Amino acid sequence: MNKTSNGDLQIANGGELHQIANGRHPSLTTNQGVVISDNQNSLRSYPQGPTLGEDFILREKITHFDHERIPERVVHARGTGVHGFFELTTSLEQYTTAKILTEVGEKTPVFTRMSTVAGGAGSVDTPRDVRGFAVKFYTKEGNWDLVGNNIPVFFIQDAIKFPDLIHAVKMEPDRGFPQSATAHDTFWDFISLTPESMHMIMWIMSDRTIPRSLRMIEGFGVHSFRLINAAGESTFVKFHWRPKLGLQSTIWDEAVKLAGADPDFHRRDMFDAIMSGNFPEWELAVQLFTQEQADTFPFDHLDPTKLIPEELVPLKVIGRMVLDRWPNNFFAETEQVAYCPANLVPGIDFSNDPLLQGRLFSYHDTQLSRLGTVNFHQIPINAPKCPISNHQRDGHMQMTQPAGRVAYEPNSLSATSPREIPARGFHSAAVTEAGTKGRIRSESFADHYSQARLFYISQTEYEQAHLASALVFELSKVEHVHVREAIVGHLRHIDEALAQRVATGLGLEQLPAAPVAARPVQAMKPSPALQIIGKMQDTLMGRTIGILVANHSDGAVIAKLKQAVTDAGATVKIVASKMGNVKLAGGQTLPVDGQLAGTPSVVFDAVAVILSDEGVQALSMESAAIDFVRDAFGHLKAIAVDKGGQALLDIARVGKDAGVVDANDQTAFIAAAKTRQWNREKSVRGLA
């Protein structure tokens, strides 16, 4: 590195000097010094065609990215894995030959891993983040990995941008923070310059990314795939997982406090459910459509920043997944499990989605770095449960002992060596691909705002307020004013009122100009299926209720309340100032499940406060007790109280509304506990 006579900096790179003058940048090159002409698009056979294997720029960039960290996953490092089974309930035989999708009643073993994306393995469970949702099916025809997220779209349209996205969202390299957070400059700088991300931004700023439980999230395969039937005909498919417990999220303040109260909240919640026999269950649903139907869509289904509204292509439920067994060893299974979207079975195939095309290479490559060997498929959690037989030999950590002199095909020296089986082997879809090769993104990918607007206008007023407030919170952490202004400019294409709410929250005196949109924003009807509040199940199943008690509390009221809540399908935990037992008014003792300071109301879905006069006096001096009821009220939870409980609420200056009910009216409490008290929110916090 040296300076020119006028003080400009020069960098020697690949034999070529690239000058950095005031305001100018060095040429972007490969690691071999080749100047890159296009860092935005993978090489494909034609604008909507498959990505080409000869794209050495994509391969170098993805390969380097995949091997950056050892041995922790670069993304999805903090995960929770559970064994279970998938049972097919409706055959798709007219669409596919895949046995797992045609044999009704067949139960296929699965291993499902759910995870945060941005944080490391030691980060907390409850940040605002996308959740990974990956399912490994151990089918009779080989392993099928359905690797997706709890959000149906993604930030970027082309895999070549994935390293840039993750570098932007990860800890800033000069300071090593923030951990597991998007509220910082590098992330929002990248987003401000990547308008294709705006649909995903609506999702991650919504309540979808602060879930109450991993048992209460949806899962999506994200991309379009193909199903191929016996006649060789293909149909496009998108996969959806829908939780039987319904969707439920936390309040942002609640999520923040959960991170401190229990960094392992989601993992512990899943563990407790499995160990108690309350096995979580999801429906598997599909959207099926033909190329002819796809041609009529007002968007390109191959664009991973787009979803197909359920009103346009309805969901068809075809099966269910039940998770019923915790791993024997966390490292051996949850940490060593290796998923790859390229793991398919005959009857399923890929689409030309350019993000999916890059993932087909990246996932396998990153496992070579993480697990250190080409034989990682022999690790028990990754091994197929059907026979495998091929001519691959040796390699680091080879566990099998193939016999014989033949390790190639074709051969004439062995009558028992494996051979290809054209009749029932894997066949790719017979699709004609033709066009002009180049790094050109399809024009059909150019609409970046219409579905972002669709998502926003589909939310309830409460969810819209949460989304706007999340944007204000995140952008308030951004130091560079021009980045904040750029994001607000993008928001003007989505919803002018949303842009104004965020601008006001950030103290901007006037709305920044909106960037030029590549395509006009389309008018689309709201899709209620995109809400959370509108999709909550009318149930207490899978929920947990906390009852705060003290010495001389009314045992009869506690017993009736506990019985009613348990009958409704919820779990009850008794909380008191100390562990051990409390002595109730009738003289009997009651075991305590949680000590007050370590079991705040944030870990419950609703609470009850049953106290004697003596108990009120004692707890009125406990800040943890005051916080218990204040937070429950502030987080919009139902609260059941007796006379003593109401006295504690009065001392804590907690208000009275329809969600604060008499503990003797168990029916009213259960009805209130099934949801949040949304009308309360305006009285307890300011929102954008």
Q: Which domain holds residue 269?
A: 56-157+202-378
10 domain residue, yes or no: no
Question: Which pLDDT does position 20 carry in this prediction?
Answer: 41
Write down which residue in 346, 378, 410 finishes a domain: 378
Residue-wise pLDDT for 280-303, tens only, equals 999 999 999 999 999 999 999 999
446 domain residue, yes or no: no
Question: Which pLDDT does position 19 carry in this prediction?
Answer: 44
3-state secondary structure of 634: helix
Classify burial at 22, counting beta carbons within 10 Å of its beta carbon; exposed 0-12, middle 13-18, buried 19 or more. Answer: exposed
Mean pLDDT value across the chain: 93
527 domain residue, yes or no: no
Residue-wise pLDDT for 628-638, tens only, equals 999 999 999 99
Residue-wise pLDDT for 144-177, tens only, equals 999 999 999 999 999 999 999 999 999 999 999 9
CA distances from 553 to 193, 593, 618, 641, 665 (A): 59, 16, 12, 11, 17
453 domain residue, yes or no: no
Pick from 1-15, 80-94, 273-287, 669-683: least confident: 1-15
Question: Which pLDDT does position 580 carry in this prediction?
Answer: 97
Strands 79-88 and 107-116: antiparallel
Rounded Cα distance, 113 and 117, in Å: 12
Write down which residue in 378, 404, 436 finishes a domain: 378
Write down which residue in 378, 411, 439 finishes a domain: 378
Strand order in the sheet with 9-13: 2-3, 9-13, 16-20
Rounded Cα distance, 353 and 413, in Å: 43
Question: Which pLDDT does position 64 carry in this prediction?
Answer: 82
15: left (phi > 0), else alpha (psi -120 to 50), else beta?
A: left
Domain with residue 77: its CATH number is: 2.40.180.10
3-state secondary structure of 482: helix
Give the model's confidence band at 70: pLDDT under 50 very low, under 70 low, under 90 confident, else very high.
low
Are the C-beta atoms of 491 and 201 separated by less than 8 Å?
no
Share of the chain above pLDDT 70, in %: 96
593 domain residue, yes or no: yes
Number of domains in the chain: 2
The type of residue at 607 is V
Rounded Cα distance, 257 and 464, in Å: 22
Q: What is the mean pLDDT of residues 124-132?
A: 98
165 domain residue, yes or no: no
Active site residues: 76, 149
Share of the chain above pLDDT 90, in %: 82
Q: What is the mean pLDDT of residues 101-124?
A: 97
Which has the higher per-residue pLDDT, 573 or 393? 573
Pick from 67-71, 256-260, 381-385, 587-591: least confident: 67-71
Rounded Cα distance, 490 and 195, in Å: 7
Give the model's confidence band at 6: pLDDT under 50 very low, under 70 low, under 90 confident, else very high.
very low
* CA angle (102 as vertex; 101, 107 as ends), nearest 5: 70
Are the C-beta atoms of 382 and 338 separated by less than 8 Å?
yes
Q: What is the DSSP letter of 53?
A: T
569 domain residue, yes or no: yes
- With a cut of 70, say whether residue 422 has pLDDT above it: yes
Are the C-beta atoms of 377 and 336 separated by less than 8 Å?
no
Contacts of 382 (CB under 8 A, 6+ apart): 136, 143, 336, 337, 338, 376
Q: Which two tokens stand for residue 220?
A: 């999506």
Question: Which pLDDT does position 23 carry in this prediction?
Answer: 55
Q: What is the mean pLDDT of residues 620-648?
A: 97
Give the model's confidence band at 13: pLDDT under 50 very low, under 70 low, under 90 confident, else very high.
very low
146 domain residue, yes or no: yes
Rounded Cα distance, 79 and 293, in Å: 37
Domain with residue 579: its CATH number is: 3.40.50.880
- With a cut of 80, say whether residue 45 has pLDDT above it: yes
Longest dimension (CA), the chain: 93
Q: What is the mean pLDDT of residues 126-139?
A: 97
Rounded Cα distance, 473 and 204, in Å: 13
Residue-wise pLDDT for 517-545, tens only, equals 999 999 999 999 999 998 899 999 999 99
